[in-house]
Amino acid sequence: MKLVKIDKNQYRSVNNQVQIGLVVILAILSLVFGQLMIYFFGVKPLPGAESTGNFHLNFTGVILALMVCSLLIRNLREKPKFYEVYYVWQLKQLQNKIFRKLKAVQQAAKDNNRDALVILSFYYQSLAIVYELDNNTLTMSNVNNELDKLQQAIEAAGYTINTDEFTPEMLQAF
């Protein structure tokens, strides 16, 4: 995966629209599916009676709504308008995979393992991109410090490293 320059305003606008849209669609479809399930399969309430026990039907309505939202996301992710949101989502997934192996990668980087240095370079630069897009300025200084330390280690090892060299398969060695 290559690091791509993302227009922050466009990303935040589309990301907010996607999030709000999904919440609204999920809420509406959950209610509609739940009510339809109760109408067709539920126990009719008696005047003055306790709960009808239709919780499982409401829950089934929520599950159906989640399935519809998942299908919607699956179909929309390939559209050009959603490219940046989908790219950042994939980038965050990749960061999570790297984070799970971060200790081993950092240890290998101390031993001047070139692949480990490439992985760390990609990881910290991608974190900087995502933090900038999400306005996460609190931890940006930590990321910049780690990038500076990493750059010094790369120079001390005599390597020239480009984040374009990174492939997810590199993580399998750790």
pLDDT tens digits for range 90-119? 999 999 999 999 999 999 999 989 999 999
- Give the predicted TM-score (pTM) of the model: 0.81
At residue 12, the pLDDT reads 92
At residue 60, the pLDDT reads 95
pLDDT tens digits for range 33-63? 999 999 898 877 667 667 677 889 999 999 9
Please write down the HEC assignment for all residues of the chain: CCCCCCCHHHHHHHHHHHHHHHHHHHHHHHHHHHHHHHHHHCCCCCCCCCCCCCHHHHHHHHHHHHHHHHHHHHHHCCCHHHHHHHHHHHHHHHHHHHHHCHHHHHHHHHCCCHHHHHHHHHHHHHHHHHHHHCCCCCCHHHHHHHHHHHHHHHHHHCCCCCHHHCCHHHHHHC
**What does the domain layout of the chain look like in residue ranges?**
8-80, 101-173
